[in-house]
Amino acid sequence: MTLNPIKSDLLFGAKHGFFTRLGGTSRGIYQGLNCGRGSQDRPDDVQKNRAAVAEYFGAAESQLQSVHQIHSADVVTLSAISPDSTKADAMVTATPSVILGILTADCQPVLFYDPEAQVIGAAHAGSKGAKAGVLQNTVAAMEKLGANRNAICAAIGPSISQKAYEVGPDFLDDICCDDPEALRFFAQGQGDRYQFDLPGYGLSILRGAGLKQVEWTGHCTYADPDRFFSYRHCVHHNAADYGRLIACISL
């Protein structure tokens, strides 16, 4: 199958890609490249999709590492291939044979690269994880491997955009309770609803962590269901389940 992931110029020098749902062997509501083992898709199809992603990197499927994502701030440091059962939401490594893979379906997939130290990272950053500090923790874990935050580049891949991310007042209170300046990432919606700028929030956190080169690819998962999986789009259309996109990076 032919895969054509979205790439970031900031990560030039590292093998990487924000994969869309195009390609793959899954069918029905999972049509395409569903890489989510936690979905109700056929396990054989998910395995074939993950193998295709690994093959894109010229690697075996066993080299494609992921974690049991729980919307936390926890980061795993990998020096070798490890089981995927670890509960965390980010990974870092300086080992060339390891491919870091993060699953999303509206949340932010964030890929990190220090070209000087040759250290990489990947994080799943929804609103909960971002608020809890998963992005800052990823940078700190990379530094323990020899990276310098002034040299680390980070790219946020396809995520739900502000126009599509409607939230309530409790959500706003939770985000802003210990960071009043985060109010700037909310726009007034209808009634008591707000529109939350998740990528803008993520970029602000990355810059606040000292990173000089950061970007969002600008792709909204909700707005283009033919190209991306979106949890919120599936909920709004009463779908029984949803597929997961994968974002990967390796040295």
Any idea what the CATH number is for the domain that residue 55 is in? Answer: 3.60.140.10
CA dist., res. 10 & res. 157, Å (int): 12
138 domain-assigned: yes
Number of domains in the chain: 1
pLDDT tens for each residue of 165-191: 999 999 999 999 989 999 999 999 999
Mean pLDDT score, 13-42? 96
On the question of pLDDT at 84 being above 90, the answer is no
On the question of pLDDT at 36 being above 70, the answer is yes
The pLDDT value given to residue 81: 85
183 domain-assigned: no
pLDDT tens for each residue of 40-73: 999 999 999 999 999 999 999 999 999 999 999 9
1 domain-assigned: no
167 domain-assigned: no
179 domain-assigned: no
On the question of pLDDT at 1 being above 70, the answer is no
Residue numbers of the domain that contains 106 = 9-157+214-250
Split at pLDDT 50, 70, 90, the class of 29 is very high
What are 32-36's contacts with CB under 8 Å, separation 24+?
Answer: 32/243, 33/3, 33/243, 33/245, 33/246, 34/229, 34/243, 34/244, 35/101, 35/103, 35/243, 35/244, 35/245, 35/246, 36/103, 36/105, 36/243, 36/244
165 domain-assigned: no
76, amino acid identity: V
Average pLDDT, the chain: 96
189 domain-assigned: no
Residues of the chain with pLDDT > 70, as a percent, come to 99
On the question of pLDDT at 227 being above 90, the answer is yes
Mean pLDDT score, 233-247? 94
Mean pLDDT score, 131-152? 98
Mean pLDDT score, 130-148? 98
Contact 179, 218 (CB under 8 A): no
On the question of pLDDT at 205 being above 70, the answer is yes
99 domain-assigned: yes
The length of the chain is 251
Residues of the chain with pLDDT > 90, as a percent, come to 95
